[in-house]
Structure 1
Amino acid sequence: MTDRDEKDLRHIMQQLSEVPFRDDLKSRILDAAQESALPIAKANRRRRPASWYAGLVSGIAAACVVVGVGVGLYMGHPSLRQTSATESTVPFQPNAKAYGLAPTPLQIADVRIGTLPGDPTNSDVLANVTNTSDVPVHESDVFGVLSFTSSDASQADAENWLTFVNGPNETVQPHQTVVWGFHPTGSTLHKPSSTELAETPHLHFYASHLVPTASASQVWTKSPVKVSQLQVEPRVLYNNEQSVQIDAHLTNLSNQPFDLKTSRAVIWFTSTSDQSFLSLDSIRFMYHLTPEYADQNWPTVLAPGQSTDINFRVISDRQSDFFSRKVHVMLIQVPPGGF
């Protein structure tokens, strides 16, 4: 946005003095209008996806759109959670045996490998995301799971890499389509000696609140394994990325052998006690439980009552404040049909 555009927008705002805009809302509208004129930003390496609008408007036209959105927000536009009239929410309980996930009105199409601005060719995952509802969907309203399956037809149904992702980082207006993008890191996903992704991506979004399991679109059930003795160790700090290792002690509490391949680890770092893996402000990951590196070694099946030490190695951006946060790890069974 140019200085002239901003002056014109402020003039329009002055003409709307009879509308009960608060000063802070006016500032937010102006800021949002300015952001809409910025070039596309590439994906944040803190596992936070980037999105951009398929079509862009500029100048006063963009300003008028933002004014309309601002009025809706001020008048108390219902949130994604509030619009689910037939759906009751339940609080996150660390000791719950299962968690009911709710669907979102974000329809996903054309999940593909592509290129975000500034990234190597074909090193990103892109998808068209459409809000099919009559209310805006904010980034904090949803979370996603991105997974990959092998390009080998004989292993096409075997998910072999997955992670949490955020929703579009711009509010998706009713019936609007945006392009979502994410830059994954994982050596198993790439072609040999290349940055190009070589596997097939899959993307699902869920609402960032829980519902009763009886009405959930998917249920994440806890595995019969106790997780204890959590410890975070620094590993690698390179350019804009850092890696930490999360040590954990697992104990099979069931009376049956437990195959680690049947479960996934949900890992999240919180700065406040009310955050969970559903929270946008958590640093969150999903991981397999079987060894992935040559120097990792532990049994993949635990007998009843057996314990073992395992570790997870996660990568995020250099600014992630791992050591000022509390780490949480829970194990969930792979749901039927995958994540």
Structure 2
Amino acid sequence: MNRLNDEELDKALRDTLHGQLDEVLLKKDFEQKVLERIVNKESRISQEVQKLQPQLQKRSRKGKWAAFTLGSQRVIGLSIGAVAMLIGLVILGVLRPERSLPLSSASHSADSKIGVLRATLAPIAVENVEVISGAAPLEQSGANQEAHGQAQKIVALSKQLLTVQAQLYNASGLPISGKDLQGMLFVLRQPSELSPVQESDWEYFVNGPNDMILPHRSVSWSFTLNPTPTFAHLRNHTVHLVWFLRHTNNAFPSLTMGTLPISTSDIRESVIGMGGANVQFLRITARLTNRGVVPWNPRSALAMLFFDRQAGVALFSRKTYKYFDDVTPLAGSSTSLAPGQSMTATFDIVGVPDTDMRQLPLHILLVARDQVGA
């Protein structure tokens, strides 16, 4: 797989963004942080990835996963992880330099807690998965996208948009509303199983369709990847899609996520930049403590961050803003956390237009990468 050095990556990022937006201005230190994090992630990716071969995975209607290996001629290609790019890009509008914005922060409860989510797997099989060029018409499947009466704004890190299309088949004897479905979509380097998710993979929370899915019937669904990955080539990339019910239902199997013996406390949020439409660039820090009996590597976990729009709502509700991110130790911290020891981790997200994310209750769920998809 081709690798980009700092200069090439910087040029590719700038050329792509300038081709997508009329004006892009990056705060110097913010941009440098993004580039450093991208390069650091790339340096950790095994050279064995170069040897991987495209592989088409099929799942029966009884399976809970559907996989589609992207063809090398379908779209342009990749070099960086989604989470790293999401740090420095805004979903709506253009990036602006932070001039007079003071460092603004908010603190949440210092109580130490381990977040656990028991999620019900939806009886939905994913069929006929394909990836096409261009955006889906009137696509509203992004979990954090609001209907503002405006056309969807895509952050395109390549000059070609990518849309995942699929048929969702209801394998149960009960009708299921698409609005009751919470999806997770993964674009993976490994063409085998979903587990474990790698740091270079791209993860998205997605909504279900607006339609009712009748028993043993299918409906069409699509999602335009936002932001769009910038692929160097498409070989060895697999799309996985799994659906959960937004509320627990004992009639169907469940998956308990967040069982790591790692507690979070002293959560702090700082606005480190602003974008168009009053979008906040948010840096979140949290104190992580190893409550287990063996050392823990933070890179072995994937973080899910949920912001409540209303008090008391379920994490998978449409009333939460949802994000994936890597667990990144604060600069200078150890990459291994011994039992009983604590460290500070950082998470970087792009907020929602006209929303002060610091005013919303925040939940951080840590999931073992080898558990996702289990």
Give, as a single letter, the amino acid of the residue that structure 1 aligns with 2:298.
Answer: L
Paired position in structure 2 for 1:113 = 131
2:231 matches 1:191 = yes
User: Compared with structure 1, are the counterparts of its residues 168 and 273 closer, same or farther at alpha carbon in structure 2 (3 Å cutoff)?
Assistant: same
Is the CA contact (8 Å cut-off) linking 2:114 and 2:261 kept in structure 1? no
- How many equivalent pairs are there? 241
Residue 177 of structure 2 corresponds to: 138
CA deviation vs aligned residue, 1:263-313 (integer Å, no higher than 9, x gap): 22221001333113221211012222146xxx9564332112222111111
In 1: Cα distance, 2:354 partner to 2:182 partner: 21
Which letter maps to 2:315? F
Instruction: Report Cα offsets for 1:234-279 as digits up to 9, x if no partner.
Output: 2444346653222211111222101113322221001333113221
Q: Distance in 1 between matches of 2:319 and 2:235?
A: 28
Question: Is residue 274 from structure 1 mapped to residue 305 from structure 2 by the alignment?
Answer: no
- Which amino acid in 2 is paired with 1:251? T
Shift of 1:336: 4.1
CA contact (8 A) 2:114 2:264 kept: no
Measured in 2, the distance between the counterparts of 1:270 and 1:144 equals 18
1:101 partnered with 2:119: yes
Query: What is the match of residue 12 of structure 2?
Result: none
Which structure carries more relative contact order (alpha carbon 8 Å, separation 6+)?
2
1:122 shift after superposition: 3.9
Deviation at 1:315, TM superposition (A): 2.7
Secondary structure at the residue paired with 2:231?
Answer: coil
Partner of 1:162: 203
Unaligned runs of 5+ in 1: 1-44, 47-93
1:96 to 1:226, Cα distance in 2 relative to 1, 3 A: closer
- The one-letter code sitting in structure 2 at the alignment partner of 1:274 is G
Query: What is the match of residue 18 of structure 2?
Result: none
CA distance in structure 2 between the aligned counterparts of 1:246 and 1:226, rounded to whole angstroms: 16
Of 281-290 and 234-243, deviating more is 234-243
Task: Give the letter for the 2:373 counterpart.
Answer: G
1:309 partner SS: strand
Structure 2: gaps spanning 5 or more residues: 1-90, 93-111, 138-153
CA contact (8 A) 2:122 2:252 kept: no
AA aligned to 1:191 is F
Distance 2:114 2:268 in 1: 23
Q: 2:364 aligns with which of 318, 329, 332?
A: 329
Mapped to 2, the partners of 1:97 and 1:248 lie a distance apart of 13
* Structure-2 separation of matches of 1:132 and 1:297: 50
Q: What percent identity do the matched residue pairs reach?
A: 22
Choose which of 162, 177, 180 in structure 2 pairs with 1:123.
Answer: 162
Is 1:200 the counterpart of 2:200? The answer is: no
> Which residue is 2:269 aligned to?
232
Aligned partner of 1:304 in structure 2 is: 339
d(CA) in 1 for partners of 2:166 and 2:371? Answer: 24
Q: Is the 8 A contact 1:140 1:279 kept in 2?
A: no
Letter in 1 for 2:164: V
Aligned ranges 1:11-160 → 2 under 5 Å: 98-114=116-132, 115-117=134-136, 121-150=160-189, 158-159=197-198, 160=201
Q: Structure 1 length normalisation: TM-score?
A: 0.59
Equivalent position of 1:288 in the other structure: 326
Determine which of 260, 269, 288 is the counterpart of 1:223.
Answer: 260
> 2:368 corresponds to which letter in structure 1?
Q
Shift of 1:111: 2.8
CA gap of 1:184–1:308, structure 2 versus 1, over 3 A, is farther
CA–CA separation in structure 2 for the residues paired with 1:221 and 1:317? 25
Give how far 1:152 is off. 7.6
Q: Distance in 2 between matches of 1:290 and 1:106?
A: 33
- Alignment equivalent of 1:250, drawn from 276, 283, 288: 288
Query: Counterpart of 2:281 in structure 1: which amino acid?
Result: S
- Structure with higher Rg: it is 1
- CA RMSD between the two structures: 3.7
Give the direction of change, closer, same or farther, for the CA distance of 1:250–1:151 in structure 2 (3 Å limit): closer
Give the TM-score taking structure 2 as reference length.
Answer: 0.54
* Distance in 2, Cα, partners of 1:216 & 1:134: 15
